[in-house]
Copies of this chain bind each other. A is one copy, B any other.
Amino acid sequence: MTITTLEKLDARGRELVFTGARTTNSFADTPVTDEELRDIWELTRWTPTMANTQPLRVAFVRTPEGKERLLPHIAEGNYAKTQAAPATAILAVDNRWHDQIPTVFPIRPEMRDHFEADEAARSHAGHFSAGLQAGAFILSTRAAGLAAGPILGYDKDGVDKEFFPDGNWSTILVVNVGHPGENPWFDRLPRVPEDAALAWA
């Protein structure tokens, strides 16, 4: 339901989603249910993308068999935490995201044909909007009461071949999901100084 009166998120919400949440590097053996994983998606799927195209796809790996298929493709430094996490989300771009245009953007179904004909534009637009959704997915995980541990140290081709053998989904980020274990967070690192990050006109 669309909200009609805006207001600031309260202090606890700001901490949970933005300022107090941390990338998690160890996981407790507390399980995560499929319902909790679906709740992450329930938040992410409403966040904006170019022309509502929603190119992000998610493969949730949470069985021992699934983990066994995933772990050989994870870099050494990310192995133990990925093994320990009760669930791992493989975030991917659907290389044929434009096939959904008649459904998700019915006011301009012909946009599908434009992106069918222009592979470079399709790849750029798909990766850009999926990146926005990936940013939202991390924050959605936190909002669902779970810890997120996004990692980029993995063999993309290996993950793609194992999980998306038809070539239609292309991995962009792997996110471990669960509850924090022992010593779950590194010390907080510095932020880019405001005068280097912001400009005013």
- Report which A residues bind B (CB closer than 8 A): 1-4, 6-10, 12-23, 34, 38, 41-48, 50, 52, 54, 56-63, 65-66, 69-70, 100, 103-106, 127-128, 131-136, 138-140, 142-148, 150, 152, 163, 172-173, 179-180, 185, 188-194, 196-201
Contact = CB atoms under 8 A, between A and B. Distances in A.
A37 B21 CA distance: 21
Contacts of A54: 191-192, 197
Give 3 closest A-B pairs by Cβ, nearest first.
A135-B135, A131-B131, A66-B201
B41 A189 contact: no
A165 to B, nearest CB: 12
A21 B134 CA distance: 18
Contact of A133 (B4, B9, B106, B135): B135
Number of copies: 2
Contacts of A190: 52, 103-104, 106
A42 B16 contact: no
Given A1-B20, A105-B189, A145 B7 contact: yes
B47 A135 contact: yes
A2 B188 CA distance: 8
Nearest to A17: B9
12 contacts: A2-B20, A3-B20, A10-B12, A19-B46, A23-B48, A41-B197, A47-B138, A54-B192, A56-B197, A59-B200, A104-B189, A128-B131
Interface of A is mostly: mixed
Contact of A13 (B10, B46, B50, B197): B10
Contact of A135 (B43, B106, B131, B179): B131
B9 A16 contact: yes
A1 B187 CA distance: 11
Contacts of A143: 8-9, 13-14, 17-18
